[in-house]
Amino acid sequence: MSNVAVVGAGQTHHARRRTDVSQVGLAREAAVRALQDAELTMDDIDSVIVATGPVLFAAVNQPEKWLVDALGARLKPVVRVTSGGGTGLAGALAAVNQIKGGFAERVLVVAYDKLSEGALQYSISTLYDPFWGREFAVGIMGFSAAYWKARMDLLGHTEEAAALVSVKNHRNALLNPYAHVRKEVTVEDVLASRPLCWPIKLLDVPPISDGACAVILAGEDAAKRSADPAWIRGMAYYSEGENAADRSMIQSEPLRIAAEKVYREAGISNPRRQVDVVEVQEPYTCFELSYYEGLGLCPPGGAAQLIESGATQIDGDIPVNPSGGCMGANPIGATALIRLAEIAQQVRGRAGAYQIPDAKVGLMQAGGGWANLRGVAVVSSTKN
């Protein structure tokens, strides 16, 4: 089976509001940077996959139809894959399949959201069944906070442990030139911050950002012409019926299934030892704790201890979100692809000030919806 690699990645300088570019202008910036990073032009691209958040975020239905011109992709295959917050990874997975399936040799994946333009919580609340429950919807924050409270009681994911995630990711974001939020916070700041949906407080929540990311994936022959490809060693994206009978809300089943599949493909049996760097998409701090367990970085119920131990700090043995994660920037539709771009740049040695020394194997996680869409990928500087 042919291999696929990331050969270029780029992102915008994320911000609360960009009034100098339109949605498509923003997406173009990331695409241009990815092409420069890969030393390619649009002529080298066979196919484009666009990934954005739900269309009601942005008042533009099927925005790839608008984006095609800004990308200079006229008359190429262009399609949009969407899957809530994890959409960027769902898009990358579609690209991997296009390449392995012989449909394209190089695919440009572009993901973005310009959240300043919409009414975020209102738009997200339309995720709820119009007949049943929408009247109680609080975006996805009320839901996420509710199950954090449950995990707090059952797994010890305390407010203090989540605050440590906020402190770590905010500090890491100081090193990231593309980050939107660059300010140091303390555990005390987080705990004292205004409750939005208790136990979620203001500093447990990432910013709302305008931003875009683009990644270029290439098949084995094309990737070999790249100086430093980041090989995709495994990638999967699984779903779960959001109100299925006895759905486990404490440990994510789709995350477990996706991680198992990807680890098997990548030959990973002990991620804590075998992975050098991790990027997770944490829409709220509590989710990062949950992912530690779902990804097998620690046993169930061990997340608070893992963050307290310092292991996931940038200089720890299993650094998580050295880029600052979503705390640094959160253009929702782009965040999953940003996580993939970040681990690719890490194993390519291009992560700049937050480069993990000698990183060879990177792990990323992303997801969306009712926490029922979950994906995982592993990239490596070596093919196998």
Question: Residues 183 to 242: which contact other proteins by CB under 8 A?
Answer: 194-200, 236-242
Nearer to other proteins by Cβ, of 56 and 174: the residue is 56
Q: How far is the CB of 183 from other proteins (least distance, A)?
A: 21
3-state SS assignment for residue 379: strand
If binding is defined by CB under 8 A, does position 357 make contact with other proteins? no
Distance between CA 108 and CA 96 in Å, rounded? 11
| Token pair 């965040």 in the structure block, residue | 335
Distance between CA 350 and CA 339 in Å, rounded? 14
If binding is defined by CB under 8 A, does position 96 make contact with other proteins? yes
Task: Map the footprint of other proteins across residues 1-40, applying CB under 8 A.
Answer: 1, 18-26, 28
Tell me the window of 91-99, 163-171, 180-188, 359-367 that interacts with other proteins (CB under 8 A): 91-99
CA dihedral 335, 280, 339, 165 (to 10 degrees): 80
- Kindly give the pairing relationship between strand 277-280 and strand 361-368: parallel
Nearer to other proteins by Cβ, of 121 and 355: the residue is 121
3-state SS assignment for residue 174: coil
| Token pair 């990807």 in the structure block, residue | 262
Contacting other proteins (CB under 8 A), which of 44, 117, 189, 260?
Answer: 117
Q: How far is the CB of 178 from other proteins (least distance, A)?
A: 19
Tell me how far the alpha carbon of residue 316 is from its chain's centroid: 21
Q: How far is the CB of 86 from other proteins (least distance, A)?
A: 10
If binding is defined by CB under 8 A, does position 114 make contact with other proteins? yes
R_g (Cα) of the chain, nearest Å = 19
Contacting other proteins (CB under 8 A), which of 369, 377, 378, 379?
Answer: 369
138 - beta bridge partners? 140
Task: Map the footprint of other proteins across residues 124-153, applying CB under 8 A.
Answer: 124-133, 135-139, 141-150, 153
